[in-house]
Amino acid sequence: MAVSWMEYKKSLIKNSTMGKYSEAFSRADAAFNANYHEKLEQLRRDAQKVPVMEKQVYADVIKIVEQATKSNMAKAELCAQISKLGNVAIGIARKYLGLPL
């Protein structure tokens, strides 16, 4: 099946435009994940030093942040998930993640 020059040209333009968007989204995802990765590592280190009563809350916050980075969860959804854990989790998220809770 022969493809006309115009169809070929349109295909190239469409694919290059989508490629630019894909690259932009990939860069944004990488920046988001790098940002939370650093904060998550700090949170993990400090979780080793907290009182026993707070260890589970730290573990729960870490789990939610890990899920958020894997699934590209929106910041609002991340805040909602952490808010469900209570005041200690909200304080952790404010301190380590800079979330507006």
Q: Express each pLDDT in 42-54 by its tens digit.
A: 999 999 999 999 9
What is the C-alpha to C-alpha distance for residues 76 and 97, in angstroms, rounded to an integer?
A: 13
Phi-psi region for residue 72, left (φ > 0), alpha (ψ -120 to 50) or beta? left
CA–CA distance, 40 with 15 (Å, rounded to integer): 36
Q: What pTM does this model have? A: 0.67
- pLDDT tens-digit profile of 41-100? 999 999 999 999 999 999 999 999 888 878 878 888 989 999 999 999 999 999 988 888
* 2/7 Cα distance (integer angstroms): 10
Question: Could you give the number of structural domains in the chain?
Answer: 1
- Give the range of the structural domain holding residue 28, as residue numbers without chain letter: 5-97
CA geometry: angle 41, 90, 53, nearest 5 deg:
75
